[in-house]
């Protein structure tokens, strides 16, 4: 048992890595922010008004969510006159896109599993 504990301990992320990871996951755990990321994944770029229409949210909610996503480096903006078009950052992690935006959404659509002995 001691060997298994040491094996597990040696493979755990550091406390700092775990803290950063939970921060990122909590950032995308918000329904508006997650849906913005999803919308930007399926569209090349969208402005605040278009995102609000697509999400059925108000522009203030979208603007606030975008500010947080930009601060985290997940979304970038491109200004065209007075309009800012938002897109996923070029270095947006592909595994995050695939697993969190697609596979996890599909998992939530499945009926709950029952526990068996």
pLDDT, tens digit, 9 for 90 and up, residues 84-93: 999 999 988 8
- In this model, does residue 74 exceed pLDDT 80? yes
pTM: 0.77
Summarize the confidence of residues 76-83 as an average pLDDT.
Answer: 96
Q: Rounded mean pLDDT of the chain?
A: 88
Q: For residues 80, 31, 26 and 48, what is the CA-based torsion angle, rounded to 10 degrees?
A: 10
Nearest to 38 by CA among 6, 69, 81, 67: 69
Strands 75-80 and 83-88, bridge-based pairing:
antiparallel
pLDDT, tens digit, 9 for 90 and up, residues 4-23: 999 898 888 899 988 888 88
């Amino acid at each position: 048992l001691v060997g298994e504990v040491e094996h597990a301990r040696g493979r755990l992320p550091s406390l700092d890595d775990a803290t950063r990871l939970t921060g990122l996951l909590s950032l995308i755990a918000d329904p508006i922010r997650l849906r913005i990321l999803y919308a930007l994944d399926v569209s090349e770029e969208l402005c605040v008004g278009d995102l609000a229409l697509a999400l059925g949210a108000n522009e203030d909610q979208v603007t606030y969510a975008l500010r947080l996503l930009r601060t985290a480096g997940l979304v970038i903006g491109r200004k065209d006159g007075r309009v800012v078009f938002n897109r996923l950052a070029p270095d947006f992690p592909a595994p995050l896109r695939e697993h969190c935006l697609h596979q996890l959404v599909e998992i939530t659509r499945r009926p709950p599993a029952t526990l068996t002995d």
